[in-house]
């Protein structure tokens, strides 16, 4: 984590844009987005001002979990195109100066992956030990008390051989045994395959799950369990995830990535901050470059609480560890759905002015809000298997709206999920020509960030959260900026240092800042050089 020659890697100043390929752009009229569609829409990402795109999984898959159940790690699902489409997308992205990250899913494969099909064929199959097969408990039933993240036991009984196999997620997603050296070798080969093809990095799916406690002992019961959370919280993931051995696995991924130069590894890790920090690794064994920081996804939208959260996160970073921030994803409710339209604008300013690499999720730049999915159109297995708990992720996965043509220009056919209700107004074309739109705000902020070392790589002063207003400074060399975010829907006076020179951005277009923050207003002010 100490930097060799003081050269900053591209991703420190960069902004990552997450594409959910099923819902970005359909090019072949099947109502489902594809790689050719992404290629056709690259200009949107350039105009927005992102530096990298991360594609959620595009590999052959039965789609039980919409691609997070991979049946072949080194190919493209025909629904999305083929390797030629992929190469065309990659080279056009590179030609536009965009990096491209793929989604690596090492914890589990599809139950249709040839490895699992072999593994389940017989107890003495050479691939039997690639997965977790166990006899029923002595009194019958699953071998231990581990719960699936999608509800129910994490074990599925397979009649053919009379044993259970482990799945931390759906039963169609069988967990790989990362203590088996052949599994490690096979997955290393996957990384080499894509790096050699030119991809710039990976987001690593559920990294903290990859290795389990030796002997698979029961998990301790969760003292805080209550029914509303869903049964997956019945036990703590003490033995089934976040084991110390995971860090050697992450370090090995990093060694592979480093062989290819300036590549990026982002780890999906849903753990409290102290445990999260371990995934940066250390100088001897660096881990992933960016362990995803998901705290803003469910933080209380309160200035004092956010100030404390940001301060604690920064303080916990290991030396040389670069921060990162996430406000939305294909798994989380939409920002504007959570905070409302006006505060979603303030959230955009927060995401793009905090110190660290932001990840922006497709559609949030339009301010898509809460999308209610009619019962008969629910597709998310998490929602279908645990109905009524409000766990549905479809609302964040609805198609992009590009213009006011049928289906928002997303497809010539009925899309696999419905569009947001106000798509005829809330689409890229309409917002591009409206200086006051969410899209214009994102473009302004990203352009400001790109031109400002203080914002992209600068230091951050202590952050204050008082009276509903969050205030911090960003500095680099002579450049000094002050960010003030009004998290309330009332005006707030902003006690200003005398050194204020001008207002570089407000969440409200064409606004002349006069010392009072309007309701729901955020500003970036330029201070006198020093």
103 binds, among ligand GLC, Mg ion, none (CB under 5 to 8 A by kind): none
Within the chain, how many helices (H) and strands (E) appear? 15, 21
466 is catalytic: no
Question: What is the rounded distance in angstroms from the CA atom of residue 242 to the CA atom of residue 207?
Answer: 8
Q: Which two tokens stand for residue 510?
A: 């064409």
Exposed/middle/buried for 354, CB within 10 Å: 0-12, 13-18, 19+? buried
| Strand partners for 174 | 109
Question: What is the rounded distance in angstroms from the CA atom of residue 452 to the CA atom of residue 73?
Answer: 39
The three-state secondary structure class of 183 is helix
Question: What is the rounded distance in angstroms from the CA atom of residue 9 to the CA atom of residue 260?
Answer: 13
445 binds, among Mg ion, ligand GLC, none (CB under 5 to 8 A by kind): none
Residues between 390 and 419 with contacts to ligand GLC, criterion CB under 6 A: none
Residues between 267 and 306 with contacts to ligand GLC, criterion CB under 6 A: 268
Quick one: CA torsion of 452, 456, 458, 463, rounded to 10 degrees?
Answer: 110
Residue 152 · residue 146 · CB < 8 Å: no
268 is catalytic: yes
Nearer to Mg ion among residue 85 and residue 167 (C-beta): 85
Residues between 204 and 223 with contacts to ligand GLC, criterion CB under 6 A: 205-206
Contact call for residue 65 and ligand GLC (CB under 6 A)? yes
Catalytic residue among 26, 103, 268, 394: 268
Write each residue from 69 to 108 as x if it is in contact with ligand GLC (CB under 6 A), else as -, in one continuous string. ------------------------------------x---
Residues touching ligand GLC, count (CB under 6 A): 9
In which residue are the tokens 């898509």 written? 368
Write each residue from 1 to 40 as x if it is in contact with Mg ion (CB under 5 A), else as -, in one continuous string. -------------------------x-x-x-x-x------
Nearer to Mg ion among residue 22 and residue 393 (C-beta): 22
DSSP string covering 312-325: HHHHHSPTTPPPEE
Residues touching Mg ion, count (CB under 5 A): 5
Question: What is the rounded distance in angstroms from the CA atom of residue 403 to the CA atom of residue 405?
Answer: 6
Contact call for residue 115 and ligand GLC (CB under 6 A)? no
Question: What is the rounded distance in angstroms from the CA atom of residue 411 to the CA atom of residue 406?
Answer: 8
Catalytic residue among 51, 69, 200, 205: 205
68 binds, among Mg ion, ligand GLC, none (CB under 5 to 8 A by kind): ligand GLC
In which residue are the tokens 């696999």 written? 416
- Sole binder of ligand GLC in the list 172, 331, 383, 520 (CB under 6 A): 331
218 binds, among Mg ion, ligand GLC, none (CB under 5 to 8 A by kind): none
| Residue 26 C-beta: closest distance to Mg ion, Å | 4
Alpha helices in 49-109 (DSSP H): 83-95
Residues annotated as catalytic (active site), given as ranges: 205, 268
Q: Which residues bind Mg ion (CB under 5 A)?
A: 26, 28, 30, 32, 34
């Amino acid at each position: 984590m100490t930097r060799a020659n003081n050269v900053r890697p591209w991703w420190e100043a960069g902004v990552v844009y997450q594409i959910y390929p099923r819902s970005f752009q359909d090019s072949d009229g099947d109502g489902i987005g594809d790689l050719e569609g992404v290629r056709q829409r690259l200009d949107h990402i350039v105009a927005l001002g992102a530096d990298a795109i991360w594609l959620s999984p595009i590999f052959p898959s039965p789609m039980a979990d919409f691609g997070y159940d991979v049946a072949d790690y080194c190919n493209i699902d025909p629904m999305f195109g083929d390797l030629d489409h992929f190469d065309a997308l990659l080279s056009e992205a590179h030609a536009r100066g965009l990096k491209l990250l793929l989604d690596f899913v090492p914890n589990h494969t599809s139950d249709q992956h040839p490895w699992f099909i072999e593994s389940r064929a017989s107890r003495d199959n050479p691939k039997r030990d690639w997965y977790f097969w166990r006899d029923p408990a002595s009194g019958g039933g699953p071998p231990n008390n581990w719960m699936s993240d999608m509800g129910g036991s994490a074990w599925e009984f397979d009649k053919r051989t009379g044993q259970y196999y482990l799945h931390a997620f759906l039963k169609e997603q069988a967990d790989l045994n990362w203590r088996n050296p052949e599994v490690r070798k096979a997955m290393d080969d996957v990384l080499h395959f894509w790096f050699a093809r030119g991809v710039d990095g990976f987001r690593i799916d559920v990294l903290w799950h990859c290795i389990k406690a030796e002997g698979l002992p029961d998990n301790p019961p969760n003292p805080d369990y209550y029914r509303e959370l869903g049964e997956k919280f019945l036990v703590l993931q003490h033995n089934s995830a976040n084991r110390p051995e995971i860090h050697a696995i992450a370090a090995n991924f990093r060694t592979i990535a480093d062989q290819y130069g300036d590549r990026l590894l982002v780890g999906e890790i849903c753990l409290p901050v102290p445990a999260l920090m371990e995934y940066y690794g250390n100088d001897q064994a660096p881990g992933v470059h960016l362990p995803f920081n998901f705290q803003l996804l469910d933080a209380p939208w309160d200035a004092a609480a956010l100030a404390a959260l940001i301060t604690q996160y920064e303080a916990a970073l290991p030396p040389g560890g670069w921060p990162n921030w996430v406000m939305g994803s294909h798994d989380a409710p939409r920002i504007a759905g959570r905070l409302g339209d006006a505060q979603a604008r303030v959230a955009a300013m927060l995401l793009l002015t905090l110190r660290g690499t932001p990840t922006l999720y497709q559609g949030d730049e339009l301010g898509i809000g809460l999308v209610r999915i009619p019962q008969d159109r629910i597709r998310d297995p998490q929602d279908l298997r645990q109905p009524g708990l409000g766990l549905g992720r479809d609302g964040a996965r609805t198609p992009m709206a590009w213009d006011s043509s049928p289906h928002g220009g997303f497809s010539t056919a009925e899309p696999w999920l419905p569009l947001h209700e106000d798509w005829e107004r809330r689409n890229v074309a309409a917002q591009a020509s409206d200086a006051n739109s969410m899209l214009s705000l994102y473009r302004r902020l990203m352009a400001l960030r790109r031109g400002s070392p203080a914002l992209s790589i600068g230091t951050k002063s202590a952050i204050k959260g008082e009276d509903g207003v969050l205030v911090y400074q960003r500095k680099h060399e002579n450049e000094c900026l002050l960010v003030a975010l009004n998290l309330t829907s009332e005006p707030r006076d902003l006690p200003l240092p005398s050194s204020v020179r001008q207002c570089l951005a407000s969440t409200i277009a064409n606004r002349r800042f006069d010392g009072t923050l309007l309701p729901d207003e955020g500003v970036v002010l330029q201070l006198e050089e020093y």
